Structure 1
Amino acid sequence: MPKVQADDMTLRVQEVLDKFGSPPLAETPLAKKACSPTPEGVLAMIIDAMLKSRPVQHGLSQRTVNHLIEVGYHDVNKLSDSTWEERTDVLRESGYNRYREQAATNLGALAEFVQEKYDGDLNNLLQQGRAERDEVGRLVKDIKGVGDLAEELFLNNVQSVWPSMTPFVDSRSLKTADEIGIGTDVEAIYDAVQRDPMKMSRLANGLSTVRLEYRQQGISI
């Protein structure tokens, strides 16, 4: 693709933000509380990434994330106190069936991991990773059920509250950005959002929406 002109790229970035950009956990009960790095919010972002990284229909995984938060599983103590059977029932209620048993196991392992390694707060992982994105990403993948894609989805969101992770766009969304004329220069994209970590997170999520809903052809200036 030819080099993207700065003005055109900025216009396309703004269009994605205006039409599709959404902050982390926007469709969940935590939507209004996800703008600060609370232990509950960061844990919810990991749960969100774990479920959405599986080959499951996006709407179903979103409903499941919502339900897990509704029952309080973003609280590491409540998640720790839950049984495998209880987690399985909650997932079943959401219709999350294909990977239900594996997800129930992974959620239990997540609670144990966060409690034992990070004193119940994943913000301590940021400190252990010296606030360096590559190191934080490596540590995040120590969590059972978090692979490369889940790591990227987590970084999309957590950069809004861990600014040292910015600028970041997951690899699939960066491909979408190239397809719709934004390009793949992440630093230039960051400039186009006024170097605002929350806007960068919203843009990454917006690009995911464009890809998931096959709207590439609808982005035109």
Structure 2
Amino acid sequence: MSGRRTLDALLERHGTTYAAEAGIRLRDTPQPLYQLLVLSDLLSARIRAGIAVAAARALFSRGLRTPRRMADATWQERVDALGEGGYRRYDERTATQLGDGALLLLDAFGGDLRRLRREAGGDVHALRSGLRRFPGIGPTGADIFLREVQTVWPETAPYLDKKALQGAERLGLPGTPAALTRLARDEDPAVLAAALVRGALDKG
């Protein structure tokens, strides 16, 4: 199978971003960007992606869609929402991280991650470092956020981290972001990244 046919098959099977799966309508506005930060925290734990997505949906369905609502919720309310989504192994620690992270976002950036973007000034490394200030967002969480946000923050594209490139290698696709972007042509870079990551994780 040619590289393009392989990629087309991958996109047909796995061409959904994690944000879309979690019900986040990603735009360059404060609420969906914050929801992506929450999802990135959940996905970065050693837990199945489906459980992390379900936990994010549970949090959002309980109204915890903004940093103010997250900060105002009790620790137990956050634990209960995570448990509803099946996120039980890390629920207590993550409930604390989400509360502390919401307060940090409110205090340092007025609840608006676009201020972090402006502070980074188009420097992806600075943006990645800024994201890592948030509790629970380590290197993996920052990579997840940047993979997903590149549709609305185009200065980060193409953002294909080690996990995405692992998927490309597994499928015999080109091994560099530039070559993969050329092969994908006009495909949404966040969809491409998510598909490659899912390809790396899909045991089938």
Corresponding residue number in structure 1 for 2:149: 158
- Pick aligned residue for 2:28 from 37, 42, 50: 37
Corresponding residue number in structure 2 for 1:11: 5
Check whether the contact 2:18–2:53 (CA below 8 A) recurs between aligned residues.
Answer: no
Corresponding residue number in structure 2 for 1:125: 116
Query: Alignment partner of 1:96: what SS?
Result: coil
- Pick aligned residue for 2:78 from 46, 64, 87: 87
Counterparts of 1:1-221 in structure 2 under 5 Å?
8-30=2-24, 33-34=25-26, 36-194=27-185, 199-215=188-204
CA distance in 2, matches of 1:169, 1:60: 23
Shift of residue 195, structure 1, vs aligned partner: 5.1
CA distance in 1, matches of 2:8, 2:114: 31
CA distance in 2, matches of 1:168, 1:122: 18
The code of the aligned residue for 1:148 comes to P
Larger mean CA deviation between 175-184 and 138-147 belongs to: 175-184
CA distance in 2, matches of 1:104, 1:158: 23
In structure 1, runs of 5+ residues without a counterpart are 1-6, 216-221
CA distance in 2, matches of 1:72, 1:170: 32
The code of the aligned residue for 1:133 comes to V
Check whether the contact 1:13–1:189 (CA below 8 A) recurs between aligned residues.
Answer: no
The code of the aligned residue for 1:110 comes to G
Check whether the contact 2:56–2:82 (CA below 8 A) recurs between aligned residues.
Answer: no
The code of the aligned residue for 1:202 comes to V
CA distance in 2, matches of 1:23, 1:89: 26
Corresponding residue number in structure 2 for 1:218: none
CA distance in 2, matches of 1:57, 1:136: 26
Shift of residue 14, structure 1, vs aligned partner: 2.5
TM-score normalised per structure 1:
0.86
Check whether the contact 1:28–1:65 (CA below 8 A) recurs between aligned residues.
Answer: yes
Check whether the contact 2:15–2:194 (CA below 8 A) recurs between aligned residues.
Answer: yes
TM-score normalised per structure 2:
0.93
CA distance in 1, matches of 2:126, 2:168: 26
Shift of residue 89, structure 1, vs aligned partner: 1.6
The code of the aligned residue for 2:79 comes to T
Check whether the contact 2:11–2:192 (CA below 8 A) recurs between aligned residues.
Answer: yes
- Structure 1 vs Structure 2: percent identity of aligned residues? 25
The code of the aligned residue for 1:92 comes to G
CA distance in 2, matches of 1:181, 1:121: 40
Query: Alignment partner of 1:25: what SS?
Result: helix
CA distance in 2, matches of 1:28, 1:95: 14
Check whether the contact 2:166–2:200 (CA below 8 A) recurs between aligned residues.
Answer: no
Q: Aligned Cα RMSD in Å?
A: 1.7
